[in-house]
Chain A
Amino acid sequence: MTDKKQIPETSDKADTNSQTDSEQQKLAEREKKIQQRLEELRKRDPFIYR
Chain B
Amino acid sequence: MKIMGISMGFHDAAVSVIDNGEILFAAHTERYSRIKNDPWLNSDIISEALEYGKPDVIVLHERTWLKRLRNIVSRDWASAREPTPQWWIKNFYPELSGIPIKQVGHHYSHAAAGVMTSDMPEACVVNIDAIGEFDSATIWHWRAGKMKKLHSVKFPNSLGLFYSAVTHRVGLKPMEDEYILMGMAAYGDEKLAKEVSNTMSTDYFKTKPWISGKLALNMKSNVQRGLDPDSFPGVDDMVIARAAQMQAEHRIFRYCEYAKKLTGSDNLIYGGGVALNCMANTRLFDLFDDIWIMPNPGDAGSSLGAAALYYYNHTGNTLTWQGPYTGTNIPGKYPVKLAMQSLKQNKIFGIANGRAEFGPRALGNRSLMADPRGGDIKSDLNEIKKRQKFRPFAPIILEEFASHYFEMPCKRIPYMQFVVKCKFPELFPAIVHYDGTSRVQTVNRDDHAGLYRLLREFYDATGCPMLVNTSLNIKGQPMVNTVSDAADFAKHYGVEVHTSDV
Q: Which residues of A contact B (CB under 8 A)?
A: 24, 27-28, 30-31, 34-35, 38, 41-42, 44-50
Given contact pairs A27-B92, A49-B130, A50-B76, A34 touches B174 in the complex (Cβ within 8 A):
no
> Is B307's CB within 8 Å of the partner chain A?
no
Query: For residue B9, which residues in chain A have a CB less than 8 angstroms away from its CB?
Result: 50
Contact with B161, one of A31, A42, A46, A49 (Cβ below 8 angstroms): A49
Contact of A47 among B43, B83, B92, B224 (CB under 8 A): B224
B79 at the interface (CB under 8 A from A): yes
Verify A42–B78 contact, CB threshold 8 A: yes
Min distance, Cβ B371 to any Cβ of chain A, angstroms: 40
CB distance from A39 to the nearest CB of B (A): 8
Q: Could you tell me if B83 and A49 are in contact, using CB atoms closer than 8 angstroms?
A: no
Q: A28-B43, A30-B92, A31-B42 are in contact. Are A45 and B161 (CB under 8 A)?
A: no
* Cβ–Cβ contact B40 & A35, under 8 A: yes
Chain A residues, Cβ within 8 Å of B83:
34, 38
A41 touches B130 (CB 8 A): no
* Distance of B95 from chain A, by nearest CB (Å): 9
Give Cα A30–Cα B224 distance, bound, in whole angstroms: 31
Set of chain A residues within 8 Å of B245, measured between Cβ atoms: none
Contact of B40 among A24, A38, A46 (CB under 8 A): A38
Least CB distance from B36 to A in Å reads: 12
Q: Report if B10 contacts A (CB, 8 A).
A: yes
Is B164 an interface residue, CB under 8 A from the partner?
A: yes
Contact A47:B10 (CB < 8 A) given known A27-B92, A35-B40? no
- Contact yes or no, A31 B168, CB < 8 A: no
Known: A24-B43, A30-B92. A38 touches B161 (CB 8 A): no
Residues in A whose Cβ lies below 8 Å from that of B224: 47-49
Chain A residues with CB under 8 Å of B314's CB are: none
Contact A41-B78, Cβ < 8 Å, known A46-B225, A49-B161: yes
Given A27-B92, A31-B42, A34-B83, are A48 and B78 neighbors across the interface (CB < 8 Å)?
A: no
Interface residue range, chain B: 20 to 34
B81 to chain A, nearest CB (A): 8
| Set of chain B residues within 8 Å of A46, measured between Cβ atoms | 225-226
**A28 — which chain B residues lie within 8 A by C-beta?**
42-43, 92
- Alpha-carbon distance between A45 and B78 when the two chains are bound, in angstroms: 7
Judge whether B164 and A31 touch: CB under 8 Å.
no
- Complex alpha-carbon distance, A34 and B82, angstroms: 10
B131 CB–A CB distance under 8 Å? yes
Given contacts A28-B43, A34-B83, contact A49 B78 (CB under 8 A): no
* CB < 8 Å neighbour of B168 from A42, A44, A48: A48
- Of the candidates B10, B40, B165, which one forms a contact with A48 in the assembled complex, judged by CB atoms under 8 Å apart? B165
A-B contact pairs, 30 of them (CB 8 A): A24-B43, A27-B43, A27-B91, A27-B92, A27-B94, A28-B42, A28-B43, A28-B92, A30-B92, A31-B42, A31-B43, A41-B78, A42-B78, A44-B78, A45-B78, A45-B79, A47-B76, A47-B78, A47-B79, A47-B225, A48-B165, A48-B174, A48-B175, A48-B225, A48-B226, A49-B164, A50-B10, A50-B76, A50-B79, A50-B131
| Complex alpha-carbon distance, A50 and B160, angstroms | 12
- By Cβ-Cβ distance, the 7 closest A-B pairs, closest first, are A50-B79, A48-B174, A45-B78, A31-B92, A48-B226, A48-B168, A35-B40
Question: CB-CB < 8 A to B175: which residues of A?
Answer: 48-49
- The answer, yes or no, to whether B71 is at the interface (CB within 8 Å) is yes
| Complex interface: chain A residues within 8 A of B78 (CB) | 41-42, 44-45, 47
In whole angstroms, what is the CA distance A29 to B50 when docked?
Answer: 20
Report Cα–Cα, A48/B74, bound state, in Å. 13
Query: Nearest chain-A residue to B77 (Cβ)?
Result: A45
- With A27-B92, A34-B83, A41-B78 as given contacts, are A48 and B164 in contact (CB-CB < 8 Å)? yes
Task: Give the distance in Å from the alpha carbon of A17 to the alpha carbon of B302 in the complex.
Answer: 36
Chain B residues contacting A44 (CB-CB under 8 Å) are: 78
In addition to A30-B92, A38-B83, A49-B224, 4 A-B residue pairs with Cβ atoms within 8 Å of each other are A27-B43, A27-B94, A47-B78, A47-B225
Q: Which residue of B lies closest to A24 (CB)?
A: B43
Tell me which of A24, A41, A49 contacts B131 (CB under 8 A): A49
